[in-house]
Amino acid sequence: MTGAPLHERGVAELAHGLAQREFSSVELTRHLLGRLEAAQPALNAMVSITGESALAAAASADGARAAGRSGPLTGVPLVHKDIFCTEGVRTTCGSRMLDNFVSPYDATVVARLKAAGTVMLGKANMDEFAMGSSNETSFYGPVRNPWNPAMVPGGSSGGSAAAVAARLAPAATATDTGGSIRQPAALTGVTGLKPTYGRVSRYGMIAFASSLDQAGVIARSAEDCALLLAAMAGFDPRDSTSVDQPVPDYAAALATPCAGLRLGIVREFFDQGLDAENERQLRAAFAVYEKLGATLVDVSLPNVGLSVPTYYVVAPAECSSNLARFDGVRFGYRCAKPKDLLDLYQRSRGEGFGAEVKRRIMTGTYVLSAGYYDAYYLKAQRVRQLISADFARAFADVDLLVGPTSPTPAFELGAKTTDPVTMYLNDIYTIGANLAGVPALSIPCGFVNALPVGLQLIGPHFSEAKLLAAAHAFQRETDWHHRAPAERH
């Protein structure tokens, strides 16, 4: 792709161009900063654009390369979801509560990507505390879908997805508690990987539901995701749920062919309100896999239909506990002139949190309260085990599961904000993987009404290399991931 404008190139191509000294990281960074600024009024993808520190980091990456100290990602720019703590740079988590919060340290993901020589261009907009499926709950206003600004980009990593889709950044970090990497990736036509729970450190990633939250990546292709995951993944002694397992060579594994792969089509995903045109695109994608030598088999996950209600007990319960730390005392928003301590707590939390966050805290507090704990929380934990067992049973027979990422393409802003349950149902196909802790990714597989739709691949624990290879094989056969929205700025 030599000669293509810099913003049209993905991570691998940029890394190559930097290594060939075709352009410098400073040139590249300046170009992308200009695009981020220009797109901000139309898309609102970012909470902060950190031009000065980005140019300084780019200059130091160029210096490292000149001195012969470069790695595969040296000088590659990216954006971080504003849920990852960044030393010296405001980390808001999309909330008024953290509007003034500047972290004294970097999240492990940020630190590792920094050590790999990447250049942070800024912090991406997101749903408040990662709660949402449309990026409309952010204190900083909604993000718009680059394919059609009347539409949502999906959530909660909507800023990350929109920035990558609009070619403002080649890659972005993101997090997925119930679908927040895969669903916005699907709705904006990019590639998003949620790794196995424990594969990537959660240290310094603001907690929503700790047993479900997982950091991952959004980029244009599986190949680019592989390059970034390699730098992010691995054991972190600061995260007690981080797993001490070697990190495979994801880039080398990309070449693994699909021939002989057994792909399970999840039966239940095709009778739960899936858009008919979306289904047609998926069936065409399955045919691509057949052509590549994979075998498609019918698979049932009998309890997966219980994922949404189970998640909406477990996630709010954990969020009500995690968000108790925001009390107006130590950091974050504090109300003006509190009368006494109780008033300080009540008004700081009342004014600092938005409506969706309050709804979750109230639901979570209720399901954990004495008398209801057994009926709701404990019951949900049991159903979670059944769902995990469904996945384990399926993976005894197939290598990967395939299905839709989201029931419909992107919907209009405001279409679902008044009905939380309708909004929650967006994640009907993604939540199961979080409950089971298994990795999953979404890749673009077509368009419906000029809006992108995604194909989801789900694998057993620690099968990221296999997932990425299967996605890469598809992307060598198709060009959906190369399609870019019209420039609107």
Residue positions annotated with a catalytic role: 81, 156, 180
Which residues from 199-218 bind ligand GLN, rule CB under 6 A?
208
Q: How far is the CB of 255 from ligand GLN (least distance, A)?
A: 31
Measured between alpha carbons, how far is 202 from 431 in angstroms, rounded to an integer?
Answer: 19
**292, HSE (Cβ side, Cα atoms, 13 Å):** 25
Kindly state the smallest distance separating residue 235's Cβ from ligand GLN, in Å.
Answer: 24
Q: What does the alpha-carbon distance between residue 316 and residue 170 come to, in Å, rounded to a whole number?
A: 33
What does the block give as tokens for 456? 């989801």
Least separation, in Å, of the C-beta of 137 and ligand GLN? Answer: 8
Report the amino acid identity of residue 186: A
User: Given the complex with ligand GLN, which of 223 and 427 has the nearer CB atom?
Assistant: 427
Residue 129: name the closest of 200, 217, 207 by CA. 207
**157/231 Cα distance (integer angstroms):** 20
One-letter amino acid of 83: I
User: In this complex, which beta carbon is closest to ligand GLN, that of residue 129 or of residue 203?
Assistant: 129
What would the x/- binding string for ligand GLN be over residues 61 to 100, using CB under 6 A?
----------------------------------------
Closer to ligand GLN at the Cβ: 48 or 434?
434
| Terminal Cα-to-Cα distance of the chain (whole angstroms) | 24
Question: Letter for the amino acid at 56?
Answer: A
156 binds ligand GLN (CB under 6 A): yes
State the nearest-atom distance from the C-beta of 176 to ligand GLN, in Å. 5
Contact segment (CB under 6 A) with ligand GLN among 13-21, 177-185, 249-257, 480-488 equals: 177-185
Q: Which is nearer to ligand GLN, 123 or 347 (CB)?
A: 123
**The pair of three-digit structure tokens given for residue 52, joined into one six-digit string:** 């000065």
Kindly state whether residue 133 participates in binding ligand GLN, applying the rule CB under 6 A. yes
CA 100/CA 106 separation, integer angstroms? 16
Choose one: 49-57, 176-184, 240-248, 459-467; the region binding ligand GLN (CB under 6 A). 176-184
Cα 235 from Cα 129, distance rounded (Å): 25
Residues 6+ apart with CB under 8 A from 276: none
Sign of CA dihedral 118, 201, 197, 44: negative
For residue 340, count CB atoms less than 10 angstroms from its CB and return exposed for 0-12, middle for 13-18, buried for 19 or more. Answer: exposed
How many of the chain's residues bind ligand GLN (CB under 6 A)?
13
Contact between residue 85 and residue 110 where contact means Cβ atoms under 8 Å apart: yes
Q: Which helix (H) or strand (E) holds 396?
A: none
Whose Cβ is closer to ligand GLN: residue 83's or residue 110's?
A: 83
The footprint of ligand GLN on residues 288-347 (CB under 6 A) is: 315
Shortest Å distance, C-beta 391 to ligand GLN: 18
Grouping H, G, I as helix, E, B as strand and the rest as coil, residue 264 is strand
For the CB of residue 316, give the shortest distance to ligand GLN in the complex, in Å: 9
Residue placing its CB nearer to ligand GLN in the complex, 91 or 177: 177
- Rule CB under 6 A: choose which of 94, 153, 178, 264 binds ligand GLN: 178
Q: CB atoms < 10 A from the CB of 242, how many? A: 20
DSSP output for 286-323: HHHHHHTT-EEEEE--TTGGGHHHHHHHHHHHHHHHHG
CB of 183 to ligand GLN, least distance (A): 7
Q: Does 131 bind ligand GLN (CB under 6 A)?
A: yes
Please, are residues 314 and 305 in contact by the beta-carbon 8 Å criterion? Answer: no
Binding segment (CB under 6 A) for ligand GLN, from list 3-11, 173-181, 275-283, 444-452: 173-181
Instruction: Return the number of the residue (50 or 177) whose C-beta is nearest ligand GLN.
Output: 177
Residue 145 CA to residue 153 CA, distance in Å, equals 4
- The reply to whether 176 sits near ligand GLN by the rule CB under 6 A is yes
- Options 84-92, 115-123, 174-182, 367-375: segment touching ligand GLN (CB under 6 A): 174-182
Does residue 130 belong to the site contacting ligand GLN (CB under 6 A)? yes
**Coil, strand or helix at 101:** coil
Phi and psi angles of residue 229, each rounded to the nearest 5 degrees, phi first: -60, -40
Q: Minimum distance from CB of 342 to ligand GLN (Å)?
A: 29
Looking only at residues 425 through 484 of this chain, which bind ligand GLN when binding is defined by CB under 6 A? 427
Considering only 8-16, 130-138, 220-228, 287-295, which stretch makes contact with ligand GLN by CB under 6 A? 130-138
Q: Which is nearer to ligand GLN, 264 or 437 (CB)?
A: 437
CB 451 within 8 A of CB 147: yes
Examine residue 121 and tell whether it contacts ligand GLN (CB under 6 A).
Answer: no
Task: Round to whole Å and give the CA distance between 94 and 203.
Answer: 18
- Which residues are near ligand GLN by CB under 6 A? 130-133, 156, 176-180, 208, 315, 427
